[in-house]
A = this chain, B = another copy of it.
Protein backbone atom coordinates (compact mmCIF):
# COMPACT_ATOMS: atom_id res chain seq x y z
CA UNK A 1 0.00 0.00 0.00
CA UNK A 2 1.40 3.43 -0.88
CA UNK A 3 2.28 5.72 2.04
CA UNK A 4 1.20 9.35 2.12
CA UNK A 5 2.35 12.27 4.25
CA UNK A 6 0.05 15.22 4.92
CA UNK A 7 0.26 18.59 6.65
CA UNK A 8 -2.82 19.38 8.72
CA UNK A 9 -4.18 22.62 10.20
CA UNK A 10 -6.90 22.56 12.80
CA UNK A 11 -8.83 24.79 15.13
CA UNK A 12 -8.82 22.52 18.19
CA UNK A 13 -11.71 24.31 19.94
CA UNK A 14 -14.36 21.67 19.23
CA UNK A 15 -12.15 18.62 19.71
CA UNK A 16 -10.93 16.48 22.56
CA UNK A 17 -7.39 16.75 21.26
CA UNK A 18 -5.50 15.13 18.42
CA UNK A 19 -5.53 11.55 19.63
CA UNK A 20 -8.52 9.17 19.58
CA UNK A 21 -10.37 9.26 22.92
CA UNK A 22 -13.06 7.05 24.37
CA UNK A 23 -15.26 10.02 25.22
CA UNK A 24 -15.21 12.81 22.67
CA UNK A 25 -14.28 13.52 19.08
CA UNK A 26 -10.62 13.82 18.11
CA UNK A 27 -8.79 15.15 15.06
CA UNK A 28 -7.34 11.68 14.40
CA UNK A 29 -10.80 10.08 14.44
CA UNK A 30 -12.22 12.63 11.96
CA UNK A 31 -9.35 12.14 9.49
CA UNK A 32 -9.44 8.33 9.76
CA UNK A 33 -13.21 8.45 9.22
CA UNK A 34 -12.76 10.58 6.08
CA UNK A 35 -10.11 8.18 4.69
CA UNK A 36 -12.49 5.27 5.27
CA UNK A 37 -15.21 7.02 3.24
CA UNK A 38 -12.79 7.74 0.39
CA UNK A 39 -11.56 4.13 0.35
CA UNK A 40 -15.20 2.90 0.63
CA UNK A 41 -14.12 0.53 3.39
CA UNK A 42 -16.02 -0.80 6.36
CA UNK A 43 -15.16 0.52 9.83
CA UNK A 44 -14.04 -3.06 10.69
CA UNK A 45 -11.11 -2.47 8.39
CA UNK A 46 -9.80 0.90 9.62
CA UNK A 47 -7.12 3.08 8.01
CA UNK A 48 -4.84 4.30 10.81
CA UNK A 49 -3.04 7.61 10.67
CA UNK A 50 0.12 8.40 12.65
CA UNK A 51 0.70 11.97 13.82
CA UNK A 52 3.99 13.62 14.79
CA UNK A 53 2.61 13.80 18.32
CA UNK A 54 -0.51 14.58 20.33
CA UNK A 55 -2.05 17.94 20.97
CA UNK A 56 -4.40 18.45 23.92
CA UNK A 57 -8.06 19.41 23.84
CA UNK A 58 -8.40 23.02 22.66
CA UNK A 59 -4.85 23.20 21.29
CA UNK A 60 -4.50 24.24 17.64
CA UNK A 61 -2.16 23.29 14.81
CA UNK A 62 -0.88 25.12 11.77
CA UNK A 63 1.60 22.44 10.80
CA UNK A 64 0.74 19.02 12.26
CA UNK A 65 2.25 16.21 10.15
CA UNK A 66 0.65 12.78 9.70
CA UNK A 67 1.33 9.70 7.62
CA UNK A 68 -0.89 6.80 6.57
CA UNK A 69 -0.99 3.87 4.18
CA UNK A 70 -3.85 4.10 1.72
CA UNK A 71 -5.28 0.95 0.05
CA UNK A 72 -5.21 2.50 -3.44
CA UNK A 73 -2.61 4.52 -5.33
CA UNK A 74 -4.35 7.76 -6.17
CA UNK A 75 -2.75 11.14 -6.93
CA UNK A 76 -1.99 12.99 -3.69
CA UNK A 77 -3.78 16.14 -4.89
CA UNK A 78 -6.98 14.14 -5.42
CA UNK A 79 -6.66 12.63 -1.97
CA UNK A 80 -6.17 16.11 -0.49
CA UNK A 81 -9.28 17.47 -2.24
CA UNK A 82 -11.38 14.47 -1.26
CA UNK A 83 -10.33 14.76 2.39
CA UNK A 84 -11.09 18.48 2.51
CA UNK A 85 -14.51 17.98 0.96
CA UNK A 86 -15.43 15.49 3.72
CA UNK A 87 -13.75 17.06 6.75
CA UNK A 88 -15.47 19.77 8.82
CA UNK A 89 -14.24 23.29 8.08
CA UNK A 90 -12.12 23.42 11.24
CA UNK A 91 -9.71 20.73 9.94
CA UNK A 92 -7.81 21.37 6.70
CA UNK A 93 -5.29 19.25 4.83
CA UNK A 94 -2.97 21.87 3.36
CA UNK A 95 -0.40 19.56 1.76
CA UNK A 96 -0.37 15.89 0.79
CA UNK A 97 2.32 13.83 -0.92
CA UNK A 98 3.14 10.19 -1.60
CA UNK A 99 6.30 9.23 0.30
CA UNK A 100 8.73 6.35 0.87
CA UNK A 101 7.13 3.54 2.86
CA UNK A 102 9.70 3.87 5.66
CA UNK A 103 8.81 7.50 6.47
CA UNK A 104 7.36 7.84 9.97
CA UNK A 105 5.67 11.08 11.10
CA UNK A 106 6.56 10.55 14.78
CA UNK A 107 9.85 8.61 14.83
CA UNK A 108 11.47 10.67 12.08
CA UNK A 109 10.63 14.06 13.64
CA UNK A 110 13.80 15.77 14.87
CA UNK A 111 12.24 18.97 16.17
CA UNK A 112 9.06 20.95 16.69
CA UNK A 113 8.00 24.57 16.86
CA UNK A 114 5.16 25.88 19.00
CA UNK A 115 3.64 29.32 19.50
CA UNK A 116 1.63 30.55 22.47
CA UNK A 117 -0.54 33.67 22.01
CA UNK A 118 -1.67 35.86 24.92
CA UNK A 119 -4.30 38.58 24.39
CA UNK A 120 -3.03 41.55 26.42
CA UNK A 121 -5.85 44.01 25.70
CA UNK A 122 -7.51 45.48 28.79
CA UNK A 123 -10.70 43.61 27.99
CA UNK A 124 -10.48 40.19 26.34
CA UNK A 125 -11.10 40.38 22.60
CA UNK A 126 -14.45 38.64 21.91
CA UNK A 127 -13.05 37.27 18.64
CA UNK A 128 -9.96 35.72 20.24
CA UNK A 129 -11.43 33.81 23.16
CA UNK A 130 -10.76 30.43 21.49
CA UNK A 131 -7.43 31.48 19.98
CA UNK A 132 -5.57 33.21 22.80
CA UNK A 133 -5.41 33.34 26.58
CA UNK A 134 -6.30 36.70 28.07
CA UNK A 135 -3.94 38.40 30.50
CA UNK A 136 -5.27 41.83 31.47
CA UNK A 137 -2.70 42.76 34.14
CA UNK A 138 0.28 45.01 33.46
CA UNK A 139 3.50 43.02 33.16
CA UNK A 140 7.15 43.53 32.27
CA UNK A 141 8.26 41.77 29.08
CA UNK A 142 11.93 42.21 30.09
CA UNK A 143 11.35 40.07 33.21
CA UNK A 144 9.71 37.36 31.10
CA UNK A 145 12.57 37.42 28.59
CA UNK A 146 15.18 37.26 31.39
CA UNK A 147 13.43 34.22 32.88
CA UNK A 148 13.15 32.38 29.56
CA UNK A 149 16.86 32.86 28.87
CA UNK A 150 17.64 30.35 31.66
CA UNK A 151 15.64 27.66 29.83
CA UNK A 152 17.48 27.81 26.52
CA UNK A 153 19.61 24.79 25.69
CA UNK A 154 19.64 21.27 27.11
CA UNK A 155 18.06 20.81 30.56
CA UNK A 156 16.03 18.41 32.64
CA UNK A 157 12.55 19.95 32.42
CA UNK A 158 10.90 17.85 35.18
CA UNK A 159 9.57 21.00 36.89
CA UNK A 160 7.83 21.92 33.64
CA UNK A 161 6.20 18.57 32.94
CA UNK A 162 2.80 17.32 34.04
CA UNK A 163 3.10 14.54 36.63
CA UNK A 164 0.65 12.58 34.45
CA UNK A 165 3.42 11.87 31.94
CA UNK A 166 4.71 8.36 31.24
CA UNK A 167 8.06 9.61 29.91
CA UNK A 168 11.14 8.71 31.98
CA UNK A 169 13.70 10.95 30.35
CA UNK A 170 12.86 14.61 30.97
CA UNK A 171 15.92 16.08 29.25
CA UNK A 172 15.05 18.21 26.24
CA UNK A 173 16.97 20.74 24.16
CA UNK A 174 15.30 24.10 23.53
CA UNK A 175 16.98 25.72 20.51
CA UNK A 176 14.83 28.82 20.58
CA UNK A 177 12.65 30.34 23.28
CA UNK A 178 11.38 33.88 22.85
CA UNK A 179 8.71 36.23 24.07
CA UNK A 180 7.78 39.34 22.11
CA UNK A 181 5.03 41.95 22.06
CA UNK A 182 3.02 42.03 18.84
CA UNK A 183 1.77 45.59 19.27
CA UNK A 184 -0.32 45.52 16.09
CA UNK A 185 -2.43 42.65 17.43
CA UNK A 186 -1.94 43.59 21.10
CA UNK A 187 -0.60 40.15 21.91
CA UNK A 188 2.27 38.70 23.89
CA UNK A 189 3.67 35.92 21.70
CA UNK A 190 5.91 33.08 22.91
CA UNK A 191 7.88 31.09 20.32
CA UNK A 192 9.52 27.74 21.07
CA UNK A 193 11.68 25.44 18.98
CA UNK A 194 13.23 22.31 20.40
CA UNK A 195 14.07 18.67 19.81
CA UNK A 196 10.99 17.61 21.76
CA UNK A 197 8.52 18.79 24.37
CA UNK A 198 7.17 17.11 27.49
CA UNK A 199 3.50 16.85 28.46
CA UNK A 200 2.19 20.39 29.18
CA UNK A 201 5.77 21.72 29.07
CA UNK A 202 5.00 24.87 27.08
CA UNK A 203 1.85 25.65 29.01
CA UNK A 204 3.71 25.37 32.34
CA UNK A 205 6.58 27.54 31.04
CA UNK A 206 4.04 30.16 29.89
CA UNK A 207 2.09 30.01 33.17
CA UNK A 208 5.33 30.49 35.12
CA UNK A 209 6.51 33.26 32.77
CA UNK A 210 3.30 35.24 33.29
CA UNK A 211 3.89 35.10 37.06
CA UNK A 212 7.43 36.37 36.50
CA UNK A 213 6.11 39.16 34.26
CA UNK A 214 3.59 40.16 36.94
CA UNK A 215 6.27 40.27 39.65
CA UNK A 216 4.98 37.22 41.55
CA UNK A 217 8.21 35.33 40.83
CA UNK A 218 11.74 36.49 40.05
CA UNK A 219 13.30 35.71 36.62
CA UNK A 220 16.07 33.74 38.44
CA UNK A 221 13.35 31.39 39.70
CA UNK A 222 13.51 29.65 36.30
CA UNK A 223 17.08 28.52 37.03
CA UNK A 224 16.09 27.22 40.46
CA UNK A 225 13.09 25.36 38.97
CA UNK A 226 15.39 23.52 36.55
CA UNK A 227 17.46 22.38 39.55
CA UNK A 228 14.69 21.32 41.97
CA UNK A 229 12.92 19.08 39.42
CA UNK A 230 9.51 19.52 41.10
CA UNK A 231 6.39 20.34 39.09
CA UNK A 232 4.61 21.73 42.16
CA UNK A 233 7.07 24.62 42.51
CA UNK A 234 6.48 25.96 38.98
CA UNK A 235 3.57 28.20 37.99
CA UNK A 236 0.14 27.10 36.79
CA UNK A 237 -0.50 25.36 33.47
CA UNK A 238 -1.65 28.08 31.04
CA UNK A 239 -4.94 27.29 29.22
CA UNK A 240 -4.81 25.24 25.99
CA UNK A 241 -6.47 27.71 23.62
CA UNK A 242 -3.40 29.93 23.17
CA UNK A 243 -1.18 27.06 22.00
CA UNK A 244 -0.32 26.23 18.37
CA UNK A 245 1.79 23.43 16.92
CA UNK A 246 3.48 25.45 14.17
CA UNK A 247 5.95 23.15 12.46
CA UNK A 248 7.45 19.68 12.63
CA UNK A 249 11.05 19.29 11.49
CA UNK A 250 12.48 16.28 9.66
CA UNK A 251 15.99 15.63 8.39
CA UNK A 252 14.61 16.11 4.90
CA UNK A 253 11.46 18.17 4.40
CA UNK A 254 8.86 15.53 3.41
CA UNK A 255 6.96 18.15 1.37
CA UNK A 256 9.93 19.19 -0.77
CA UNK A 257 9.08 18.59 -4.40
CA UNK A 258 11.00 15.58 -5.63
Contacts and interface: CB of A to CB of B under 8 A. Distances in A.
A84 B123 contact: yes
Give the oligomeric copy count. 2
A91 B123 CA distance: 10
Contacts of A90: 126, 129
Interface in A85-140: 89-94, 123-127, 129, 131, 134
A67 interface: no
Contacts of A11: 126-127, 129
A140 to B, nearest CB: 24
A126 B90 CA distance: 4
A129 B89 contact: yes
A131 B127 contact: yes
Interface in A18-46: none
A9 interface: yes
Interface string A219-234: 0000000000000000
A39 to B, nearest CB: 21
A60 interface: yes
A190 interface: no
Interface residues of A, number: 19
A157 interface: no
Nearest to A131: B127
Interface hub of A89, A93, A126, A131 (most chain B Cβ within 10 A): A126
A113 to B, nearest CB: 17
A70 interface: no
A91 B126 contact: yes
Nearest to A91: B126
A10 interface: yes
Contacts of A89: 124, 126, 129, 134
Nearest to A123: B92
Contacts of A124: 89, 92
Contacts of A126: 9-11, 89-92
Contacts of A92: 123-126
A91 B124 CA distance: 9
Given A89-B134, A92-B125, 13 more contacts: A9-B127, A10-B126, A60-B127, A84-B123, A89-B124, A89-B129, A90-B126, A90-B129, A91-B126, A92-B124, A92-B126, A93-B123, A94-B123
Closest 5 CB pairs of A and B: A89-B129, A11-B126, A90-B126, A92-B126, A92-B123
